[in-house]
Each structure stands twice: as C-alpha cells, then as structure tokens.
Structure 1
C-alpha cells in the first residue's frame, strides 16, 4: 500500500464554530478527514470512536480547557500517542506554551495563525502518521507471513512423516507380498518339476489315482493361497477407492457360521486344534453373506494361527437390535499396545511369530463390518488368548 493511500483523520477542538471552519478550510485535503468538536466532551467521544493522526486543541474553552483534555488523552491507552498541537489567542506573556509542553503537546501555535506554519506542521504530522501506519501494516504482514510459513512448515513436516510412513508401508507390503506369493508359487513349481522328471523317466507309478488326488489337493491349496492373497489386495484397493460393494440380503447367521466351520475342517486339523460351536436359535438379519463369511473366515484363521493348538470357541447370538459373533481363542494373546494396531493395514497380531498372510485380514474385516454399520472389537491380554467380537445391526439402514 502506498503512503498516499493511507487516509489520515484530524481532530480540531474549539468552542467557536467560526474558528473550526477556518481551521478546517486551512488543513483539509482529499486524503484527510477533519473532525470538529466544540467542547472537550465532544472531543473525547470522537477520540473513542476514531484513530487520529493528530489533534489541534484550543487552550481556552469553557468547562474543560485544552490542557485538561490533553492530560486525559495522555492517560488513556487509545489516545496517549496522538500528537497534540495547542492553539491560543492569549499573549505570549501568559506562558501558555510552557504549560502546553508540560501537558504533552508537541507544538504550540499563537493566534492569529500563520497559514504556512499550520499547513507545514500538519503535513509533517500526517506524514509521520502515515509512515508509522505503513510500518505497522508491514510488521503485521510480516507476522502474518511468518505464521503462514510456520503453518506451511508444519504441514510439510506432517506430509513428510506421512510420506515416509507410506514408503515404509509400501516397502513392507512389497516384502510381505513377495514372500507370501513366493511360498505357494514355489510349491507349484516344485510339483511341476517333479512331474516333469517322472514323465521324462516314464515313471507311470508316480501317477496312480491316489497320487494324482494328492497332487491335485496340493495344487488346489497353493492356488487358493494365491487367490486369497490377490483378493485381499483387491479388497484393499476397493476400500481405498470407496468401491467396496455391500449387497444385503436376509439369511440365518447361525447356519452360515455352522457351514463355514465345517468347511474349515482341513485347516482346523492342520492347526491341531478344535472349534467348539453349539448352534442356537436362528439369528436372521440383512447382511452381505459373502462379506460376512469373509470376516468370520479371517477371525477363524487368526484364531487357528495364534491359538497355540488349544480349543477355539465360537458363538452367535442376538443382543437387542444386533447380532453378535464371538470368536475366542486361548493362545498367545495381544498386548494393549498391539490391540490398537491389529486393525491397521499390514499389521500382524504378533511380530514374534512367523505367520503367513499380508496382515490385511483384520483391516479388511473392520472395513466390511463398518460398511454394515457394525463394530468389531478385541479383548485380550498377553498369554490369555483373545476374544474378537463382531456386532451387526440386524436391519441395514438404507
């Protein structure tokens, strides 16, 4: 902003209207606003409303005189720095000038006024006011710029931390994916090489029906592992883009859980564990059956993985307007700190145990349950197993 753009307000106080008009005509310009007061009381009212570049006070006024008004101005924070010029018709022998300077005046003028002196002095104080105002605005602008830079720096630092975290997650993800994908692929490659070797040797005995069944089962397990990894990665992508589809339909949750546990027979046997489930009354509601099966499968897989070969208890029941699924194991448990992390991406229940999977199961499960307006929680302590509880509203909001 240019100095000339800063408008200056001037206050003139005199008990004679003709003196005010004459002085106003002398000092008024387009870039200035002149306020007139006929008494000290009027002047105080204006001083409280406006910010003045200077004040020209008549000394001899009825009631409160100019000196008393000046003392009041000097004692008030809003007005104490306003330059004051006294004007008096009294002769120099009255020694008013000395008293004026004692009252805080910056100058003293005698009537009749010297036109050039008045204009010159007003110009000086107006220019000083504008320079002070401009400097104050520059300081405020610099302070605002400093605050904005601090905010920007904080945002950049936060972004840097987030980027570093994202890079670590990417690196961890790629490391886990390469390891997890390699495991079933290595199995398939070894099986293929073994069969090629038998075929090259015309070893027909290696391809009996029993051996063929075993080969197919092994291949199927490896392929299912790959499919599971790929589906998990696709689900994460769908979640991030908000495209995880939920298609509610009415079904009996108790029956679905019972059938799912039966399909886990091979995994339960391989984990040398058992699953206790006593089906109760039907628990009917509106949910996406495929997605709910996905959640329960993830919970069962974790329970078998970390259950220390001990029995696992599963229950399904109604609690008010919600259906509840509990999966409880008696395994290694989860610390309080890790309970806050298990539902995050690429997190494992226990880093000290070598386990398969991308660490996405619980993250995906939580997103699926949230999409049903439900909740999934964990209660656990180290060495005391874990209870995962899923609560689902029985009727989905449309």
Structure 2
C-alpha cells in the first residue's frame, strides 16, 4: 500500500500557509508546514518530501538560500521546488530562482487552478515512484526467495541422493538378500525424503502463484488422525503415538490438507522429541463451534528457536542440527491452518514438554475460506 505523499509549505506568514493548505489538501496528500528556512531544513531531513512550495522573501534565510542548501545535501537535492513570490516580475530574479534549482516560479496572486495542477503533477510522480519502489522490493524479495530455494534444495538433497547412490553401489556388488533388502529400504526412504522436499516446494510455489486449491467438505477428523498415526506405527513395536479423542470431531475442512498438517506435526514430534516418551495426540471436539487438536512430545524447544518455527527456511542457528528437511513443513502447516480460518500455536517448557495446538472453526464455509485465500494473496479456483 502506497504511503501518504508529503508536500512542504514554507512561508514566514502563517495566513499564507493556511491558504495553501486549504487549496492543496486532499486524501492521500499531507501538507507539512515550515515558517522559516531552518524549520524547512528540519522537515526535509525528517520526511520524504515530494514537492516544496517555498516563499522567496523570508527573514534570516530567504528562499534562494534555502534552495542552495537543499541542493548541497544528498538527501534533499532531488526535491523539486516551486518558488512563490509577491514581488514584481523581474527577469534576473526569476533566472536566479531557476539557477538555485527551482522547477517553477509563480508570482502572487497566482491562479489557484494552475497551482493545484502543477502540484498534482509532482504528487503523481511521487506516487509512481512509491509504486516502483514497492514493485522493486517485491521482485527483490522474490529473487532472494528463489535463490534460497535453489541453495537449500541443492544442499538438503545431497544427503538422500548420496544414500541412494551408495545403496545402488551396494546392490551392484553383493548378492546377500538381507543386504539387498536393507539397501532397497534405504533407497526407498531417501526417495520419499526427496519427494517430500519437492512436494513442499511445490506447495510454497502454489501459494505464491495463487494456485493453491482447497476443497472443504464435511469430514470426521478422528479417522484421519488414526490413519496418520498408523503410518508412523510399526507392527509388533511399542506404541510411539497415543491418541485421545472426545466430543464431536466432524466439521467442514479440506481433509487432505489437514492430513498434511497432522502428518507434519506428528512426524516432527517423533523426530525431535524424547524417544522414551510417546507422543500424545488429543482431539477435542467438545466445543460447539471449534475443534482443538494438540500434539505433545517430551522435550523443550529453545525460546530463540520458537520465534522462527513458522518461518520458511529456518536458519541453521535455530533449526535442529539433525533436521532432514527444507524448514518448510511448519511454515506450510501454519499457512494451511490459517487458510481454514484457524490458528496453529506452540508452547514449550521443560516441565510440560512441547505442545503444538491447532484451533479450527468447525464450519468455515467455502466463501469464508475463499476470502482467506484472497487476503493472503493465495486465491485459487478450487474453492
């Protein structure tokens, strides 16, 4: 959103500034007042000025001297100046004004329509300058993000790719069925890790290009939780995830996207939590209009890391040392929950462990979700 455009009115007669303010005031334009050259310089140093309307005849520092000082400072030398004067027309005086850096020279009494038109030109130029600056920042951010995509993906894909290549080499050289099976499992696991990284990048790309698709329908979240937990359980082994459920767990959501959120949270809890303590998933549907899901594991996340958890590409200083992904999982989970008009929060301490809590409205309809997509710049045709 463009900022308010500021113009500077410089005159030692307050009544003249009041008249100019009334003439030029309109929404989106702010008139700053200065009653001397010194006050004008202070305003110029503190604000981004689109145009300065300067009275020539002022005590202590006249308009020409002010203009020369403005042209001598890198911050103010490009501010356009329109001189206003009540003296008789004088070619030498006018020439001095242009020589001092004026873009125009108006004699009082001037036609208010002419002055307003001239000022409007510089207001429009400043507005276009602001728009170009915003577009440049957006493009620069996109370039930085794309560079980060490439750098992080290239770095994090090396490990699973190396595992695949090493396992393939083992398969070439051995005939022991057990070693062949172990190598095949490593290849499968590494391939799944690579596929997950690529899927995460595609999700972020869809968010940025307004192609994210949500299809909310009436679903029961309990079977979804049970299915996700089942993917992490190994037959014959001690339970690593405990599911607790209460109340009504039916609502209007995109089942696949919420399954993606739950899979990420449970996977993170198992990977980073204390392996000797099971992860607890609690689904609470006792409230009439909202559902709460908590994923709890033993262990504490440092306070310095918690501030970065839901940001894409968490830095090495805050990411776990044994992280196996791009640092996009929690960011995507946070965005998907937000698009369901819900919240994803985290709390962590040494006593209670780490708790991720999802709070979802049970009946966020398609129109509301479409508005959320539009507000976040991610509107897609799937809703």
Which range, TM-score by smaller chain? 0.5 to 0.7
Aligned to 1:326: 294
1:172 aligns with 2:138: no
Is 1:347–2:314 an aligned residue pair?
Answer: yes
Report the counterpart of residue 216 of structure 1 in structure 2: 184
Q: Secondary structure at the match of 2:266?
A: helix
SS in 1 for 2:363: coil
Larger Rg: 1
Aligned mate of 2:205, from 237, 244, 253: 237
Asked if the contact 1:180–1:357 (Cα under 8 Å) also holds between the matched residues in 2, the reply is yes
| 1:181 equivalenced with 2:149 (yes/no) | no
Q: What is the DSSP-based 3-state SS (H/G/I as helix, E as strand, rest coil) of the residue aligned with 1:278?
A: strand
1:84-119 CA-to-partner distances (Å, cap 9, x unmatched) read xxxxxxxxxxxxxxxxxxxxxxxxxxxxxxxxxxxx
User: Equivalents in 1 of 2:306, 2:125: separation in Å?
Assistant: 38
Structure 2 CA distance, aligned partners of 1:300 and 1:210?
30
Structure 1 segment 295-306 matched on structure 2, within 5 A: 295-306=261-272
Give the Cα separation in 1 of the matches to 2:317 and 2:359.
24
Point out the structure with the larger helix share. Answer: 1
Q: Is the aligned partner of 1:363 residue 2:331? A: yes
Alpha-carbon RMSD across the aligned residues, in angstroms, is 3.4
**TM superposition shift of 1:177:** 0.4
CA contact (8 A) 2:260 2:333 kept: yes
Report the 3-state secondary structure (helix = DSSP H, G, I; strand = E; otherwise coil) of the residue aligned with 2:357. strand
CA distance in 2: counterparts of 1:273 and 1:256, whole angstroms:
18
1:278 equivalent in structure 2: 244
Distance 2:315 2:214 in 1: 26
Q: Which runs of 5+ in 1 are unaligned?
A: 1-129, 199-205
Q: CA deviation at 1:217?
A: 1.5
Counterpart-to-counterpart distance in 2, 1:174 and 1:185: 16
Cα 1:342–1:144 shift into 2, 3 Å: farther
Tell me by how many angstroms 1:225 deviates: 0.9
Matched, 1:192 2:158: no
The equivalent of 1:85 in structure 2 is none
TM-superposed CA distance for 1:220, in Å, is 1.1
TM value normalised by structure 1: 0.55
Give the number of aligned pairs. 256
Higher relative contact order (CA 8 A, sep 6+): 2
- Per-residue CA shift, 1:268-318, capped at 9, x if unaligned? x9xx99433334466233333222111001112222343254633221111
* TM-score, normalised relative to structure 2: 0.57
